[in-house]
Amino acid sequence: MRKERERGRLELLCWTQKNCCTVESRGQNDTEPIVLEGKCLVVCDSTPSSEPAGNALGMSVRSGSGRVAFSVSRQTNHEPTDMSNRTMIIYFDNILVNVGSHFESESSVFLAPRRGVYSFNFHVVKAYNRQTIQVSLMVNGWPMISAFAGDQDVTREAATNAGLVIMEKGDKAYLRLERGNLMGGWKYSTFSGFLVFPL
């Protein structure tokens, strides 16, 4: 059993030089390693046999059961009649990716399925609008990060930001217009997020 577990371990070696990355992986039959070259973004060293099932990052990545990601956009350029004057939540009408189905399209709210570190980024475009806008990433009603767009000499400008947030299971994340208006619409705006790793 121990030998089988050892053969099943994934060994990663990442070397970065001039945007070059070499990844070495040995399969279950211990044949010659497969070498991949390209940009190196993340290196994880996980031993699934020594960690509880579901807690090992390598396990969740390989099994696919822990994958959580979404990306949405705004396709229409109508005035924001569907934005509530009370909540000012920014709505999106086109789902590009919704792995795990944790982004609710009707409310434009992401619901965290587990405790972990999540990455979010947003680009909210104001069109033909000379007012300064402030857009915030909200988690359970509290602003985490904000972005501003206030150039009066351009027809389109985006409030853009990104960050990492620790979320608990059941926490809600969404975008809120804190200042200004989007009366010219917000077509081409995007909102994306994914689970970096569980805690």
**16-52, pLDDT tens digit by residue?**
344 444 444 444 444 454 444 444 444 444 444 444 4
Q: Which residue range is the domain that position 113 belongs to?
A: 69-198
Reading across the β-sheet that carries 190-198, which strands appear in turn?
94-99, 69-73, 190-198, 116-127, 156-167
pLDDT of residue 55: 44
Percent of the chain scoring above 70 in pLDDT: 59
Among 63, 93, 110, residue at a domain's last position: 63
Report the domain count for the chain.
2
Domain C-terminal end among 63, 88, 106: 63
List the one residue out of 163, 157, 156, 115 whose CA is nearest residue 138.
Answer: 163
Buried b (16+ CB within 10 A) or exposed e, 28-66: eeeeeeeeeeeebeeeeebebeeeeeeebbbbbbeeeeb
Q: How far is 83 from 33, CA to CA, in rounded Å?
A: 54
Residue 63 sits at φ, ψ, to 5 deg, of -75, -30
Mean pLDDT of the chain: 74
d(CA 156, CA 148): 13
Share of the chain above pLDDT 90, in %: 44
Same domain, 55 and 85: no
Considering the domain architecture, whether residues 127 and 186 belong to the same structural domain is answered as yes
Query: In this structure, are residues 196 and 116 in contact, taking their beta carbons and an 8 Å threshold?
Result: yes
Where does a domain end: 38, 63, 88?
Answer: 63
Q: Are residues 74 and 44 in the same domain?
A: no
Say yes or no: 57 and 97 in one domain: no
- In this structure, are 85 and 125 located in the same domain? yes
Residues 111 and 22 in one domain: no
Instruction: List CB contacts of 87: < 8 A, sequence separation 6 or more.
Output: 176
Residue 168 above 80 pLDDT?
A: yes
Give yes or no: residues 104 and 165 share one domain. Answer: yes
Same domain, 59 and 21: yes
110 & 167 share domain: yes
Domain match, 129 and 181 both: yes
Same-domain pairing of 86 and 135? yes
Is 75 found in the same domain as 57?
no
Is residue 64's pLDDT more than 50?
no
- The enclosing domain of 175 has a CATH number of 2.60.120.40
pLDDT tens string 80-112? 555 555 568 999 999 999 999 999 999 999 999
Query: 5-14, 69-78, 136-145: which has the highest mean pLDDT?
Result: 136-145
More confident residue, 186 or 29: 186
